[in-house]
Structure formats: structure tokens, C-alpha cells
Amino acid sequence: MLAVANIRGGGEYGEEWHEQGSLTSKQQVFDDFAACARHLVETGVTTTTRLALMGGSNGGLLMGAVLTQHPDIARAVVALVPVMDMLRVELHPNGAFNVTEYGSVNDPAQFQVLHAYSPYHHVQDGVAYPATLLTGGEFDPRVDAYHPKKMAARLQAATAGPEPILLRMKATGHGIGEPLDESVAELADVYAFIFDRLSIQYRPPT
């Protein structure tokens, strides 16, 4: 089963819906997503041990925030080209461009919010984190490669559980204009990771 969470912060229901998940209201995005995941379990669609979460770019930030705020929410998490250090992201060209969405560390109120959910800054030693796969592009113009690299290293050092924390880097960027063979190889690795962690037996199409 595949579930898509249409959480606040997107444009599905107009600008007010978007504003309810941006700037100092950003935490509501993570709360909405966690509520969706819990709903799937509470209604019997799946169980925590059979649930995998996946998001990329800004959705990768979502994965990092949910992972650190609710480490018991799922069996596996995939964060594709994620933003993970919210205190430094605006120091780079595309990060500066996204200040209107995330806010700035130079604004005291916005700094407090950014620091409160910045995934990298909320990894805790001794927590049993779920199986996690982070990906990144060495020449990504949108999300600098240090984000998934730092987060993977921090999670590997901190986790007290047996689940793997993996990092998959590629020589390309954010996925736009990427060679087809690279896209296929990455997708195969992502689903191999999810299938392995959820004990899903792959069945080739007939």
C-alpha cells in the first residue's frame, strides 16, 4: 500500500494552507505527517514495523524532523537529497533563496523555530533510530552534499539500535537532468532497502 500525505505547507488548498506550514508555523508540517503515519497504524492499514517513510529535498527535511522527533514511528526512513542543518542552510545560494519559506537565523523568532526542529541538531545519543537511508549529490546545486553526509555520520554515532544508517552519494545533483541509468540505479537501491527492512518479497511482473 502507498499513502501520500497532503500536509500543511503545500499548495493543495490555497495560500492559507501553505502559510500554515511555513516560517514560524513549520512545525505543523511535521505534526501533520506524524499524525498521518499514526493514523495508518491506528486504523489497521499497517503496523509500525511494516511502515516505511520517504521524502525528498524539502520532503527530506520532513523525514529528518519526523525521524528525530518520533524515532519509534516507523521501521524505515528514506531521506532523498535532504536539508538537515537548518542553521546553516541559508549560507549557500539556494538556501538563501528559500529564506522566504524557512525563515532566517538572523531573525530571533525564526531562529528559535529553526533550531527547535533542525534535524541535525536534535539527534540524541543512545536513541534507537529506525533503519535510515540518506542520499545526496556531490554537485547538487539545491541541497549541499554536507547535509546528508553530516546527518548520516551523526546518526551512525548516536544510534543505540541495530538498524543500519546508510548513506548513498552520487556524482550528479538534485535529480534534474540526471542520466536515466543513474536514476534507475538509485531507485533500485531505495526499494531494495525498503523491501529488505520490511521483509517484502519482490515479485517480478508477469
Q: What is the pLDDT of residues 160-204, one digit of tens each?
A: 999 999 999 998 888 777 889 999 999 999 999 999 999 999 888
Task: State the cell numbers at 2.
Answer: 502507498
Contact 14, 6 (CB under 8 A): no
Task: State the cell numbers at 163.
Answer: 538498524
**Mean pLDDT in the chain?**
95
Q: What is the pLDDT of residues 121-168, one digit of tens each?
A: 999 999 999 999 999 999 988 999 999 999 999 999 999 999 999 999
Domain spans, the chain: 47-198
Q: Which of 57, 104, 121, 122 is catalytic?
A: 57
User: Which CATH architecture describes the domain 47-198?
Assistant: 3-Layer(aba) Sandwich (3.40)
Q: Which pLDDT belongs to residue 178? A: 85
57 carries an active-site annotation: yes
The three state secondary structure string of the chain is CCCCCCCCCCCCCCHHHHHCCCHHHCHHHHHHHHHHHHHHHHCCCCCHHHCEEEEECHHHHHHHHHHHHCCCCCCEEEEECCCCCCCCHHHCHHHHHCHHHHCCCCCHHHHHHHHHHCHHHHCCCCCCCCEEEEEEECCCCCCCCHHHHHHHHHHHHHCCCCCCEEEEEECCCCCCCCCHHHHHHHHHHHHHHHHHHHCCCCCCCC
Q: What is the model's pTM?
A: 0.94
How far are the Cα atoms of 4, 21, 61, 156, 193 from residue 80, in angstroms, in the given order?
A: 16, 20, 9, 17, 13
